Amino acid sequence: MIFVSVGTTYALLDPGEKLANWYDRQFKEKVESLSASSTNGLLRSLENFKKELKDVTKNITEQLEEYKGTKTKETTNSIKQHQDLQLHQLHTVTEEINIQSKEQMKTYIEQKVQDETKQITKNIEDILANLTKEE
């Protein structure tokens, strides 16, 4: 009987099965370890990505605000320069028109005075002619 119980004990302690169980345990532990490590690595990578994305977004927003401010100033200055040029041209044209109007008015008045003088002279001559005929 000793042999039977030794054989039974020996059968329960089969080295191939023990080795297979040990490999299974090691494989499962490694898979779990790698899974946890990969998951933790992915989570860290995602957190780093979120932080970098936030930093890039902030940087882009600041650059856009700076660009917007610069373009607004440039546009405002351009409009102001155009407005100043238009006002200058308007004043120049207005002055020229005033000068022309004054010259035209002077010419008109001189012409009217000459016409009226001619008419008065003619009227006086007609009156004198009528007076001399009656006498």
Model confidence at 12, pLDDT cuts 50, 70, 90, reads low
Can you read off the two tokens belonging to residue 118? 């001619």
Query: Per the confidence metrics, is the pTM higher than 0.75?
Result: no
**pLDDT digits over 104-134, tens only?**
999 999 999 999 999 999 999 989 888 888 6
Going by C-alpha positions, the residue among 102, 124, 122, 120 that lies closest to residue 112 is: 120
**pLDDT digits over 33-81, tens only?**
777 677 777 788 889 989 999 999 999 999 999 999 999 999 999 999 9
d(CA 108, CA 102): 10
What pLDDT score was predicted for residue 3?
A: 43
Higher pLDDT residue, 37 or 135?
37
d(CA 60, CA 66): 10
**Does 32 score more than 50 pLDDT?**
yes
